[in-house]
Structure 1
Amino acid sequence: MTVQIDKPILDPYDYDFHEDPYPYYKRLRDEAPLYRNEELGFWALSRHQDVVQGFRNSTALSNAFGVSLDPASRGPHASKTMSFLAMDDPDHLRLRTLVSKGFTPRRIRELEPRVTELTVGHLETMLERADSGTVDYVAEFAGKLPMDVISELMGVPQPDRDQVRAWADAVMHRDDGVTDVPPAAIEASLNLIVYYQEMVAQRRKKPTEDLTSALLGAEIDGDKLTDDEVLGFMFLMVIAGNETTTKLLANAAFWGHRNPDQLTPVYADLERVPLWVEETLRYDTSSQILARTVAVEFTIYDTTIPDGEIVLLLPGSAHRDERVFENPDDFVIGREIGSKLLSFGSGAHFCLGAHLARMEARVALTELFRRIRGYEVDEANAVRVHSSNVRGFAHLPITVETR
């Protein structure tokens, strides 16, 4: 009698996969390090060394059609909403260099006191509500702060921020089993683009001190960003910068709750918060799956993948690879991670906003722990986000014990 062994399966749209992708990843690493999904038309790389090489091989694996599997987000138009993330060199290098003139480490450093103010404001509201019982950590805090920071950076006026945040959330939502962008997300994208177009037009007439004005003024040897290029970068900030940081803050809270022994030293010494952030980025990264398009024939595991095919890189899997991390399925704050972290990519496309995300998470979690003695997550009522590439919570109800 022969025993039928199922092939490993990777379906980025499957709700069960969203609940816990890590057993799926383990099977891929062990049984199909180069995986093929005929039905959805992609290949996938799951081992750490292969994901690193995939990120760094931008000649064979192109970003030009975007980094999402969703058909509506893919194609030559991808750079309109994903800026230089959906470009190859030399276009990528030109745009990234120009954007870097406005989006400087100094600008991020100078933003920190304001990030602290915004954090404290949201925390005070959340903790007041928590006095009467359970409060939604995402709705009251993790979902609000990153978008407010980006709005602050861009110069979005305070009264508009709730609406801009609602559009940004709608852009990312995916329905169960639907392998494309739903109509509500397309409508939200258009609303955001129209809003930012008006903002760019205003700054052209009357520059202010914000990043939008800095981008419009950025120049290298007479080369400047067009309105569309500024718009594309603003959209990228909303999608990549907002969504992933929201998920990072909620994932940190969830896994901290699941591993209270790991948090005890953090309560005692808030200098350990950045270590908590790094382990969360490794253990359960917001950015799980990134697509590339084969530009020239790409050979790996004795298989040649023809050009035009989609290859998914799985940093979420790479971070649990036992070939690289000891006991990778244990959440250990303070473990040695360093350059093995792939949450912000690697190589030419390394995330320009990595320092902003780390600063926001450090400030947010430090200020939270200054005010609380402990917290509990109501796991039964926690709701995961359903997305083909990011991982985190739509709702995370918690109870807190204030200091």
Structure 2
Amino acid sequence: MTTSAVRLDPYNYDFHEDPYPYYQRLRDEAPLYRNDELGFWALSRHADVLKGFRNSTTLSNKFGVSLDPASRGPHASKTMSFLAMDDPDHLRLRTLVSKGFTPRRIRELEPRVTEIANQHLDSMLEAAASGATVDYVDEFAGKLPMDVISELMGVPNADRAQVRAWADAVMHREDGVTDVPDSAIEASLNLIVYYQEMVKQRRTALTDDLTSALLEAEIDGDRLTDDEIIGFMFLMVIAGNETTTKLLANAAFWGHRNPDQLGPVFDDHERIPLWVEETLRYDTSSQILARTVVGELELYDTVLPDGDVVLLLPGSAHRDERVFQNPDDFVIGREIGSKLMSFGSGAHFCLGAHLARMEARVALAELFKRIRGYEVDEDNAVRVHSSNVRGFAHLPISVKVS
């Protein structure tokens, strides 16, 4: 193990503002880093993070993927579904869920995603037309992903704002508090109770939504239990909602910061997927994921004992100059391919990757059809404070409407 004066604290607000100088020092000075106070190891180099994602035997998911003590432990799968399981349980549940959550269902959802995007754009751009600053997160990026998930699941329109508010509260962290606050626990319980009622209703009368499809999913007589369905629905809220909201806002922020890169996207909307991919690399929503050592693991001449927590840092891996040329430059269209780990890698590769990419592509394409340009009010932008995701709680922008 390398010793270093650098300190990694995933709860520190200064780290949230800009983690990349910390990551640079970790990669150079402490590729295997130890924090005794918070009780974790961390891997920051691209090769090590990739190996970590692909080693689902020795680096286990069964206690969850968050450092937060309240989210860790043998019951993590209740709210994180198969993300907090190892095979064979992981494979069974993922295979059953995949019967309902199909690529075809995602493709067929695209016209509705376009409609929902335009509904939110209508109100945002109406406010922006008068020259007023609008909050891109409040009005658009924070609404669309949760509404799309609600659309998928069959949450009625009238309930979507409340469901969105609970989902936001689940993720918020107070400065210096190294655990899940009471408000987030309360919001989690509210969501679970709401989804329990939804599942109960579908048991009585099936509809054509994902909730019903999950109830009907079956392989050789094996079906999902209500708890398993609710766990997956909760996972969608956490993994599918927050990360896409952050992706949309991060794309807008770094596009604004790099007008030379964004200019060609205004002229050629076919470049929007490339903008999305570079955002996923340059400033990924999912920065930190936890694993638990099973047996023991030797890294950098150090033996990591059974039960220790290892943090994988894809946010750092994507800035590794051993893999990417000039990694601190935002370059739309650079070669990324399979080097991207925003959606993980290996057995736990994100089931919702197609949905996230489709949502981001549609959202940004619809926005760019309707505006000629935008400016971010950086002084009033507010970052989200979370131990694992990175993005904005508020991103005020002024818009030139087409």
Bucket of the pairwise TM-score, normalised by the shorter protein: over 0.9
| Letter aligned with residue 300 of structure 2 | Y
Matches within 5 A, 1:153-192: 153-192=152-191
Q: Does 1:32 align with 2:40?
A: no
1:11 aligns with 2:40: no
User: Residue 136 of structure 1 contacts residue 398 of structure 1 at CA under 8 Å; is this kept in 2?
Assistant: yes
Q: In the TM superposition, what is the alpha-carbon distance from 1:131 to its structure 2 partner?
A: 1.8
**Counterparts in 2 of 1:112-123, with a 5 A limit?**
112-123=110-121
Report the counterpart of residue 76 of structure 1 in structure 2: 74
Secondary structure of 2:374's aligned partner: strand
1:396 is aligned with what amino acid? L
TM-aligned CA deviation for residue 6 of structure 1: 6.6
Q: Please list, as runs of the form range in 1=range in 2, the aligned pairs for 1:3-402 lying within 5 A after superposition.
A: 7-132=5-130, 133-402=132-401
- Quick one: distance in 1 between partners of 2:86 and 2:128? 47
1:368 aligned counterpart, secondary structure:
helix
TM value normalised by structure 1: 0.99
Aligned length: 399
2:4 touches 2:29 (CA, 8 Å); kept in 1? no
CA distance in 1, matches of 2:281, 2:347: 21
Q: Distance in 2 between matches of 1:131 and 1:78?
A: 46
Q: Answer whether contact 1:130 1:400 (CA < 8 A) is retained.
A: yes
* Alpha carbons 1:43, 1:310 under 8 Å: kept: yes
Distance in 2 (alpha carbons) for counterparts of 1:63 and 1:260: 40
Partner-residue secondary structure (3-state), 1:214: helix
Report the Cα distance in structure 2 between the residues aligned to 1:77 and 1:275, rounded to whole angstroms.
39
> Partner letter of residue 77 of structure 2?
S
Q: What stretches of structure 1 of length at least 5 have no aligned partner?
A: none
Deviations 1:348-367 (A, max 9, x none): 00000000000000000000
Deviations 1:146-184 (A, max 9, x none): 000000000000000000000000000000000000000
1:296, CA displacement in angstroms? Answer: 1.6
Give the deviation of 1:376 after TM superposition. Answer: 0.1
| Inter-partner Cα distance in structure 2 for 1:290 and 1:6 | 22
Alpha carbons 1:59, 1:296 under 8 Å: kept = no
Tell me the alpha carbon deviations over residues 360-399 of structure 1, each in whole angstroms, 9 at most, x when there is no partner: 0000000000001000000000000000000000000000
Contact 1:142 1:246 in 2 (8 A): yes
Aligned-pair identity (%): 85
Work out the CA distance in 2 between the residues paired with 1:263 and 1:40: 40
SS in 2 for 1:99: helix
